[in-house]
Chain A
Amino acid sequence: MEKLDSLLLQEIAGMHDIPMGAYNIRKNGEGLSRRSTANIEIRPKTDKPGIDIIVAPGTVNESVHIPVIITQTGIDDLVYNDFYIGDGADVLIVAGCGIHNSGDSKSQHDGIHTFHIGKNAHVKYVEKHYGEGDGLGERILNPVTAVEQGENSVCEMEMVQIKGVDSTKRDTKASLAAGAKLIVTERLLTHGKQEALSNIEVRLNGADSSAQIISRTVAKDSSKQVFYYNAVGNDKCRAHVQCDSIIMDNATVSSIPGITANSAYAQIIHEAAIGRINNDQLVKLMTFGLTEEEAEEIIISGFLK
């Protein structure tokens, strides 16, 4: 593997080498290498770019890595990934996209993901976005994710974007059957002139389904963040949306809640807070001998952890 490739892979997927288990590595708009296992099949699509990932029912303690890297300038990559998670399976999926753009044209990756999660299955999905390179070319990531959760399934989604992505528009939709549970944590840091938009819509269709959306973001410089978080309760269910943003410099953040109950037994809470770094926290760390900048760093990285 080339040095730049492995650096990007490490950044987004924590991979030092070829990962254990099933994987598919995509580079500059093409499949680079792929491995299926006895229980997890990765099949390239024939009608459009992308792959089908089929996890056999009952598969436990296995992982799938599907990182995407872009190292050329001017790449516009659109890819469809469909996950079929069999009943009772328990898997970790590590996705993510790293863009190194040192040219002057924009590089863009739009990943369209669908998840069909079977009954009683448990999925942990981790997605990291990362950009670097000193060219003028923009680094753009617009992921679209649709999740369909079967009865009593659990889906944990962790989405992180800490550095170097100029523009991102994230669309996430989930629908939950009876007893299903969804936990989404989104962590985002924007700086410079970056813009980030995130739409999340959760439909709690089945009895005793539950959803928790936790968003922690930091907006620096003159960056811009907009969040539309929507929870719709169609049966006896519980949903909790929690958005917490630190705003600095000349940034703007808007957090727009949308909660709808179509059942008298739906219980939906939305909490949102936007504010500067607490001055007492800064001063406390400065009384340990840290500079104001060091204190800020520590508070932000703790907040985004």
Chain B
Amino acid sequence: MLELQNISFGVDTDAGKLEIIDDVSLTVADGSFTVITGPNGGGKSTLAKLIMGIEKPTSGKIIYNGEDITPLSVTERAKKGIGYAFQQPPRFKGLTVRRLLSLAAGATLPEDECCSYLTGVGLCSKDYLNREMDASLSGGEAKRIEIATLMARNLGLAIFDEPEAGIDLWSFSMLVKSFRAMSSGRHNSVLVISHQERIMDLADNMIVIADGRLKNQGTKEEVLPTLMGEFNQECDFRGKENADGKA
């Protein structure tokens, strides 16, 4: 189980202190499929980075399986079974897709196993195995390989940051199928940041993050109907925040 206790994260900017995550508390139950959604710039990726240890909170605690992991490094959290597929995967000169998958899995993977992960994200494996994960890959290709690296791992908590972004319709269906398979018969928890209803359909827990705060949490049926209303007022409450003197 993952528990965030009063997590805040601020950065210093020229215009003063900017609170990006503001006192967020939430839990992700074992074996759950949680979808985080909310407006652009709301703080979803930042929250994922805080869980992975890429960013350190200004205050608050992160408890994972009963242990306070707040002081732990990215490497240590990874070893405890947390994984994060980036919204924008980095490119590597000279690293093949196969090598990357093996590094993710922590062991040299046999070819057929690599292939099955690539197929799971809608990539024809024989075309990609020996390609380099460099700038020559298209955005959607790199994105799907990034997702495959999490599938190659045995994780307690897998975090996917907008896995659908830039992915074509056909691959998207494949992806939803893979996520569905992941959400049944799994032992681990899956946390997906997404704007896609078809991914929200898989959720048994939904979280809305807007303006750095937890705006809503509950089942899809509870949360989805309120979303549209909230998004409509987005501009409105941003204006109010600014009037309060917040950046």
Do these two chains really belong together in a complex? yes
Identify the A interface with B (CB < 8 A).
216, 244, 278, 280-281, 283-292, 298-299, 301-305
Find the B residue at minimum CB distance from A284: B90
**B93 adjacent to chain A (CB < 8 Å):** yes
Asked whether, in the complex, the Cβ of A280 is within 8 Å of the Cβ of B90, the reply is yes
Residues from chain A with a CB closer than 8 A to the CB of B93 are 216, 244, 302-303
- Residue numbers in B under 8 Å from A299 (CB-CB): 92, 95
Q: What 4 A-B pairs come out closest when comparing CB atoms?
A: A302-B94, A280-B90, A289-B78, A305-B94
Contacts of B73 in A (CB 8 A): 286
A283 closest partner in B (C-beta):
B54
A289 lies within 8 A of B79 (CB): yes
Contacting residues of chain B (79-102) with chain A, CB-CB under 8 angstroms: 79, 83-84, 86, 88-95, 99
B75 adjacent to A289 (CB under 8 Å) = yes
- Cα–Cα distance between A90 and B78 once the two chains are bound (Å): 50
Residue among B54, B75, B83, B84 facing the most chain A CB atoms (10 A cut-off): B75
Q: How far is the CB of A38 from chain B (nearest CB, A)?
A: 37
Known: A281-B92, A283-B74, A301-B94. 14 other contacts (CB 8 A): A244-B93, A280-B86, A284-B89, A286-B73, A286-B74, A286-B75, A287-B74, A287-B83, A288-B104, A289-B106, A290-B103, A298-B103, A302-B92, A303-B93
A272: shortest Cβ distance to chain B, in Å?
15
Distance in Å from the Cβ of A286 to the closest Cβ of chain B? 4
Residues on B close to A: CB < 8 A?
52, 54, 73-75, 78-79, 83-84, 86, 88-95, 99, 103-104, 106, 149, 153
- A291, B103: Cα distance in complex, Å: 12
CB neighbours (8 Å) of B103 from chain A are 285, 288, 290, 298
Q: Please, which residue of chain B has its CB at the minimum distance from the CB of A305?
A: B94
B-side contacts of A281, CB under 8 Å: 90-92
Can you spell out 19 A-B residue pairs with CB atoms less than 8 angstroms apart? A216-B93, A244-B93, A284-B86, A284-B89, A286-B73, A286-B78, A287-B54, A287-B74, A287-B78, A288-B78, A288-B83, A288-B104, A289-B79, A291-B75, A292-B75, A302-B93, A302-B99, A303-B94, A304-B94
**Closest B residue to A281 using CB positions:** B90
Chain A min CB distance to B95 (Å): 4
List residues of chain B with CB within 8 A of the CB of A289. 75, 78-79, 106
Among B86, B92, B104, max chain A CB count under 10 A is at B92
CB contacts (< 8 Å) of B153 on chain A: these are 288
CB contacts (< 8 Å) of A298 on chain B: these are 95, 103
CB distance from A30 to the nearest CB of B (A): 39
A136 to B74, CA, bound (A): 40
Q: Collect the chain B residues with CB atoms within 8 Å of residue A216's CB.
A: 93
A287 to B81, CA, bound (A): 10
* Assembled-state Cα–Cα distance A301/B103 (Å): 14
With both chains docked as a complex, state the minimum distance between the C-beta of B82 and any C-beta of chain A, in angstroms. 8
Residues of B within 8 A of A280 (CB): 86, 88, 90
Question: What's the Cα separation between A244 and B93 when bound, in Å?
Answer: 11
- B152, closest chain A residue (CB): A288
Residue of A nearest to B93 (CB): A303
**Chain B residues within 8 Å of A301, by CB:** 94
Inside 8 A of B91's CB, which chain A residues have their CB? 281
CA distance A216 to B84 in the complex (A): 30
Cα(A280)–Cα(B106), bound, Å: 19
Given A292-B75, A298-B103, answer yes or no on A287-B84 (Cβ-Cβ < 8 Å).
Answer: yes
Q: How far is the CA of A290 from the CA of B103 in the complex (A)?
A: 9
In the complex where A298-B95, A298-B103, A302-B95 touch, is A287 in contact with B90 (Cβ < 8 A)? no
Q: CA A287 – CA B90 in complex, angstroms?
A: 12
Closest Cβ of chain B: how far from A278's Cβ, in Å? 6
B64 to chain A, nearest CB (A): 15
Of chain A, the residue at the smallest CB distance from B82 is A287
- Tell me, in angstroms, the Cα distance from A283 to B92 when the chains sit together: 12
Tell me how far the C-beta of A46 lies from the nearest C-beta in chain B, rounded to whole angstroms. Answer: 45
Most buried by A among B88, B99, B103: B103
With A302-B93, A302-B95: A288-B52 Cβ-Cβ less than 8 Å: no
Closest chain A residue, CB of each to CB of B103: A288
Of the listed residues B73, B74, B90, B104, the one surrounded by the most CB atoms of chain A closer than 10 A to its CB is B74
Q: Could you tell me the distance between the alpha carbons of A5 and B79 in the complex, rounded to whole angstroms?
A: 43
Q: Check A288 against B106 for contact (C-beta < 8 Å).
A: yes
CA distance A289 to B104 in the complex (A): 8
Q: Which residues of A contact B106 (CB under 8 A)?
A: 288-289
Nearest residue (CB) in A for B89 is A284
Closest residue of B by beta carbon distance from A299? B92
Docked Cα-Cα span, A292 to B79, in Å, equals 14
Min distance, Cβ A257 to any Cβ of chain B, angstroms = 21
Q: How far is the CB of B206 from chain A (nearest CB, A)?
A: 25
